[in-house]
A and B are shown apart, each in its own frame.
Chain A
Amino acid sequence: MRVEAFLWLVVACATLAIAGGAWSREAAPAAADPVLEKRTMELAGQLRCLVCQNQTIADSNAPLAVDLKNQIREQLSQGASNTDIVDYMVARYGDFVLYRPPFRAATVLLWLGPLLLVLAGLFWLFRVLRNRKSEPDIELSEADRRRAEALLSPPEKDAR
């Protein structure tokens, strides 16, 4: 009885393994070489998929993203450098494919905008703080002081 159960378990595991293999074959063809695959995915992670614009080519399963991954893999295996491939993509799809846009006259505001906002915020904060300091302290009358004291002092315990 035990042997039979064990055999069933073996069969189940084998079936799962085979089915799993079949599923993984449906995914995009990965390079057999893990180093090449790692470089491919690293590069693909820096490039924007133009079909689904908020995903990288690495993340996206859009047909174009799969094609471009294949393109990167192929060019890397032919000895292209990372800059070669990035240039290839920019020549076709423009700077927009880069998740890290280059520093140019047209992108100055993009790169320095946040810094400018922080500086403007600091300037504003500084001014507000300085103005606040120059406001005179409010004078309390004796009656006000007593009222405040009464409000702030702990309530007396109920006598039982």
Chain B
Amino acid sequence: MSSAKRIIVTLAGFGALVALLAVGLTLNPREVPSPLVGKPAPAFELPLLNEPARTFSSRDMAGEVWLLNVWASWCVACRVEHPVLLELAKSGAVPLYGLNYKDRREDGLPWLQQLGDPYVLSIHDLDGRLGIDYGVYGVPETFLIDKQGVIRYKRIGPLTEDIVKQKILPLVSELNRAS
């Protein structure tokens, strides 16, 4: 191999390595693809956050396209996400239900009072068992569930205006059109 050729080969190899690492840097290691997307949403029946005597079941949502948002008063990123949820709720584009995760009633309820309540209702998962069923590991998380009760989209981390506009709303109208 001539020395010029050797330099070119070395540089090409180096360039390929840099490109590989550069792509790796742009990926978020915290975003693990969920095995739950495309699978039926785990069934539940849990007490409401504001009315412990009443329960809400996933069966009540059959035939509807809806969002389930996992939140907690101790979760800082939920505060960041909150205005986006309020805006989404105001638009009425899709019903938004809350899953209050590993939170005490006396913490969760004032949080909603203070910041505004975007949810149709919130269920209360004190011991985080339903969270495990939904594979929750980084609050906030959001699930889009279709009429058949299948999870169609999952977002780990706060929703942003862009995600709502570009991902969720198009999917919602598509799923609403489907029978």
Contact = CB atoms under 8 A, between A and B. Distances in A.
A139 to B, nearest CB: 23
A51 B32 contact: no
Nearest to B128: A67
Nearest to A93: B135
Interface string A68-94: 100100000000000000000011111
A67 B137 CA distance: 11
Interface residues on B, range: 10 to 19
Nearest to B137: A50
B29 interface: yes
Contacts of B87: none
Contacts of B135: 92-94
Contact of B132 (A51, A53, A92, A94): A92
Interface of A: 50-51, 53, 63-64, 67-68, 71, 90-96
Given A67-B132, A68-B132, A92 B35 contact: yes
Contact of A92 (B29, B127, B128, B134): B134
B147 interface: no
B19 to A, nearest CB: 17
Contacts of A63: 102, 128
B5 interface: no
A91 B35 contact: yes
Contact of B34 (A51, A64, A68, A94): A94
A71 B137 contact: no
B92 interface: no
Contact of A51 (B35, B134, B138): B138
Contact of A96 (B32, B36, B129): B32
B30 interface: yes
A93 B102 contact: no
10 contacts: A50-B138, A51-B138, A53-B30, A64-B128, A91-B35, A92-B135, A93-B135, A94-B32, A94-B33, A96-B32
B138 to A, nearest CB: 7
Contacts of B51: none
B32 A90 contact: no
A17 to B, nearest CB: 32
A92 B131 CA distance: 10
Contacts of B137: 50-51, 64, 93
B5 to A, nearest CB: 14
A91 B129 CA distance: 15
B90 to A, nearest CB: 32
Ranked 5 nearest A-B pairs via Cβ? A50-B137, A92-B135, A94-B35, A96-B32, A93-B135
Given A67-B127, A91-B35, A94-B34, 5 more contacts: A50-B32, A64-B131, A68-B132, A71-B132, A93-B137
A135 to B, nearest CB: 13
B133 interface: yes
Interface string B128-162: 11011111111000000000000000000000000
Interface in B84-100: none
A53 B29 contact: yes
